[in-house]
Amino acid sequence: KNEVEQSPQNLTAQEGEFITINCSYSVGISALHWLQQHPGGGIVSLFMLSSGKKKHGRLIATINIQEKHSSLHITASHPRDSAVYICAAAYSGGGADGLTFGKGTHLIIQP
């Protein structure tokens, strides 16, 4: 089964710090999703990317296809960014069961 590894599992930082969450996957993909899970459990899609870089507000997602690696960056972090961040890799040629999720990174931003 295709594997998706996230690091770190847990991250605590101070408000204003620059945050990086990493995601590695094992085989070629069609797309990679970054998701945010709120403390209440609901999940919101942040990015879907297949190459390069995307930016939305203080969030930046990058992907390196050759290295099979993606990063999610948060600039000027804020306590409201505290959440679980999940990456999910969509594998080329796969069906719905070809979407593999990482275990998530639990981020806490302290004021």
- 21 in contact with other proteins (CB under 8 A): no
Q: How far apart (Å, rounded) are the C-alpha atoms in residues 25 and 43?
A: 21
**Smallest Cα–Cα separation from 99: which of 86, 110, 108, 90?**
90
Q: How far is the CB of 106 from other proteins (least distance, A)?
A: 10
Q: Which stretch binds other proteins (CB under 8 A): 13-21, 53-61, 63-71, 102-110?
A: 102-110
Q: How far apart (Å, rounded) are the C-alpha atoms in residues 36 and 45?
A: 6
Site string for other proteins, 35-74 (x = CB under 8 A): x----xxxxxx--x--------------------------
Backbone CA torsion sign across 35, 84, 79, 20: negative
The residues facing 74 across adjacent strands are: 19, 59
Q: Which stretch binds other proteins (CB under 8 A): 10-18, 25-33, 62-70, 72-80?
A: 25-33
Query: In angstroms, how far is CA 106 from the centroid of its own chain?
Result: 11
Binding residues (CB under 8 A) for other proteins: these are 4, 29-31, 33, 35, 40-45, 48, 86, 88, 90-91, 94-104
